[in-house]
């Protein structure tokens, strides 16, 4: 049975879907930061977000709270991971520039 009711589950599902789509489109914006395994995580995130939207009405309050914690932690860890990838890419570019200047 599919029963979609607008609530917190819709917001959580949309947050996850938007977050993983941003991860996917990062490949177009900064290709040096993107990794091949991002497509795998994007697929899992889209599946997870869709399940939350379609079947989230079944969650009782404590399970919904735990799902909101999981979504928050996942998005925060993903954001930190992307920032660290960008810093590493910038450090590698600076290192290569310094090596070229020395030669």
Q: Which of 52, 51, 48 is nearest to 78 (CA)?
A: 48
Q: With cut-offs at 50, 70 and 90, classify the pLDDT of residue 66.
A: very high
Asked whether the predicted pLDDT for residue 103 surpasses 70, the reply is no
Q: Model-level pTM?
A: 0.82
Asked whether the predicted pLDDT for residue 87 surpasses 70, the reply is yes
Q: Which residue has the tokens 């079947």?
A: 55
C-alpha distance from residue 64 to each of 29, 43, 52, 54 (Å): 34, 22, 10, 14
pLDDT of residue 88: 94
pLDDT of residue 17: 96
Burial class (CB in 10 A: 0-12, 13-18, 19+), 29: exposed
Average pLDDT over residues 6-34: 92
Asked whether the predicted pLDDT for residue 102 surpasses 80, the reply is no
Asked whether the predicted pLDDT for residue 1 surpasses 90, the reply is no
To 5 degrees, how large is the angle CA 74–CA 36–CA 9?
30
Q: Which of 28, 23, 17 is nearest to 81 (CA)?
A: 23
Task: Report d(CA 90, CA 93) in Å as an integer.
Answer: 5
pLDDT of residue 45: 95
């Amino acid at each position: 049975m599919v029963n979609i009711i607008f609530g917190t589950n819709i917001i959580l599902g949309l947050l996850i879907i938007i977050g993983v789509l941003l991860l996917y489109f990062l490949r177009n914006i900064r290709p040096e930061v993107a990794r091949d395994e991002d497509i795998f995580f994007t697929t899992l995130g889209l599946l997870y977000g869709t399940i939350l939207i379609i079947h989230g009405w079944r969650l009782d309050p404590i399970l919904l709270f735990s799902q909101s914690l999981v979504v928050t932690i996942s998005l925060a860890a993903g954001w930190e991971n992307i920032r660290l990838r960008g810093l590493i890419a910038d450090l590698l570019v600076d290192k290569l520039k310094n090596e070229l200047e020395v030669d």
